[in-house]
Structure 1
Amino acid sequence: MNVGTVFTLSGAEAAGLDPEILDVWRAAFGDAEDAEEWRSSVWDRHRSRAGFRLVTARDGERMLGFAWGHTGERGQYWSDFISREVGRGVDDWIGGHFEFVELAVMPDARGRGIGRRLHDALLADLPHERALLSTSARSDDPAVRLYSSRGWVTLATYGEDRQVMGRVLA
Structure 2
Amino acid sequence: MLVVGSGIAGLTAALHASQDFSVSLLTKGELAETNTWYAQGGIAGAVGEADSSELHLADTLVVGQGLCDERVVRAVVTEAAAALDALQGFGVRFDLADSGGVALAREGGHTLPRVLHSGDKTGAAIQQALTSALIDRGRIPVFEHRFLVDVLTGPDGRCVGALVLVRRPER
TM-score relative to the length of structure 2: 0.23
Task: Give the structure-1-normalised TM-score.
Answer: 0.24
More strand by share: 1
**CA radius of gyration, larger in:** 2
